[in-house]
Amino acid sequence: MALPVLRVGLIGNGTVGSAFATALDANQERLAQRLGARLRLTQVAVRHPDRHRGTLAGVRIHDDAESLANDASVDLVVEASGSPDAATWLRRAIARGAAAVSANKQAIAGDRVLLQALADRHPLLHCEAAVAAALPIVRALRDSLDGEEIHNVRGVLNGTTTYILTQIERGARFRDALLLAQEHGYAEADAEADLSGRDAAAKLAILATLAWRRPITVHDVDTKGINGNIVDVVRVAREHGSRVRLVAEAWADDTLHLRVEPKILHPHDVLARAENVVNVVEVHSALAGPLVWYGAGAGGARTASALLGDLLVASRALVGATAGSIAA
Ligand code: NAP
Ligand code: HSE
């Protein structure tokens, strides 16, 4: 019997979007088996549709992301554009009953409606890829720790600055290290978003929204970044066995505190394990105590992994999948 087909529309085909399209194609059979339905990429919206897109043979390519989001023939919208307009597209898609899967932390962390949907665990909005790439920290806070009281969330959440700081520890110059991070595809289209701390602040806002169940925006985070002046601090810290990292932290006492800033970390601090593009996230909760996640937090394939996982969860919500009955 032919499997039902779910149609996927992709917005963005850069580092993340192209890795996602490649992974979707390479894993077609595996995903169909797991889902009981086929996921077919039917259209892609980009800024420059005339550029060569080798991996998208047979897929309609255009430059109208809004029409893709509104298109009733698209069941799942995957958004990896980095565009500030993406919040509107994601909301439109969900409003008409499609699922929205996004890697765009700024779009989500700047939009109270989407943040409220996350706080409410809306089944059609998913953004694992927006925070720490494949590290399953969004799902952990959304589902696994859903019954818990979260005391605090701390993390090294930006791969670009961690990569730069690691290279400086090894003797590189700030500017050269930034160029390398950009070449690897870790940095945002405007790397100032990484350097200023805005990228980490948006990720923290999403995690805090899930942890404390109310919209917390990127603007609620007290944010400081790094620049070339950090080099001497990094080298002196290294001589003492310590490390400088851009640390994002949120903790609750009478009020909720949210902060991103460069910090000198004790060598035994678990966040000091963040090297190159590795992200580390630590969560303290009432019952589970301290929990730690560790792994690559940027890069095309790493982020595509999270998008695929979200795509399956969202697809199951759409098809109302139920597992077969269990014999008693
Ligand atoms: P990128 O390489 O700059 O690619 C952006 C893509 O979006 C390009 O294909 C671009 O089209 C398209 N685009 C931009 N504005 C558009 C618009 N208004 N309408 C339609 N398409 C548009 O960026 P990226 O590194 O893949 O990042 C994409 C998103 O994923 C960002 O939100 C980023 O924060 C997030 N993210 C990135 C990483 C990473 O490691 N890079 C990891 C996790 C999350 P053209 O190709 O025609 O220019
Ligand atoms: N620019 C981001 C970073 C990409 O360096 O962490 C991953 O979200």
> For 180-191, what is each residue's pLDDT tens digit?
999 999 999 999
Q: What pLDDT score was predicted for residue 101? A: 98
3-state DSSP helix/strand/coil % of the chain, to nearest 5: 45, 20, 35
| Rg for the chain, CA atoms, rounded | 20
Q: Is the pTM here over 0.85, yes or no?
A: yes
pLDDT of 320 > 90? The answer is: no
pLDDT tens digits, 119-132? 999 999 999 999 99
What is the pLDDT at residue 324?
62
The residues that are catalytic are 203
Burial letters for 219-240: b for 16+ Cβ neighbours within 10 Å, e otherwise? Answer: ebbebebbeeebbebbeebeee
Q: Residue 319: what pLDDT?
A: 86
Pocket test of ligand 2: the residue of 162, 186, 305 to mutate, having most ligand atoms within 8 Å of its CB, is: 186
Q: Would you list the DSSP string of 28-76?
A: HHHHHHHHTSEEEEEEEE-S-TTS--GGGTTSEEES-HHHHHH-TT-SE
Decide if pLDDT at 211 tops 90: yes
pLDDT surpasses 60 at 93: yes
pLDDT at 321: 56
- The per-residue pLDDT for 54 is 74
Residue with tokens 């565009």: 83
Is residue 90 within 8 Å of residue 77, measured between CB atoms? yes
Burial class (CB in 10 A: 0-12, 13-18, 19+), 194: buried
C-alpha of residue 304 to centroid of ligand 2, in Å: 13
Q: Average model confidence (pLDDT) for the chain?
A: 96
Percentage of residues in the chain with pLDDT exceeding 70? 98
Q: Which ligand is nearest to the CA of 90?
A: 1
Measure 244 CA to ligand 1 centroid, in angstroms.
29
109 CA → ligand 1 middle, Å: 16
The ligand minimizing its distance to the Cα of 64 is 1
Ligand nearest to the CA of 86: 1
What pLDDT is attached to residue 223? 98
Output the ligand 2 site: residues, CB below 6 A. 133, 158-160, 186-188, 194, 199, 297-298
Which atom of ligand 1 lies at the shortest distance from residue 83's CA?
15
User: What is the helix (H) or strand (E) element at residue 304, kind and residue range?
Assistant: helix 300-319
What distance in angstroms lies between residue 320's CA and the mean position of ligand 2's atoms? Answer: 33
**Whose C-alpha lies nearest to ligand 2, atom 7?**
298
Over residues 170-175, mean pLDDT: 97
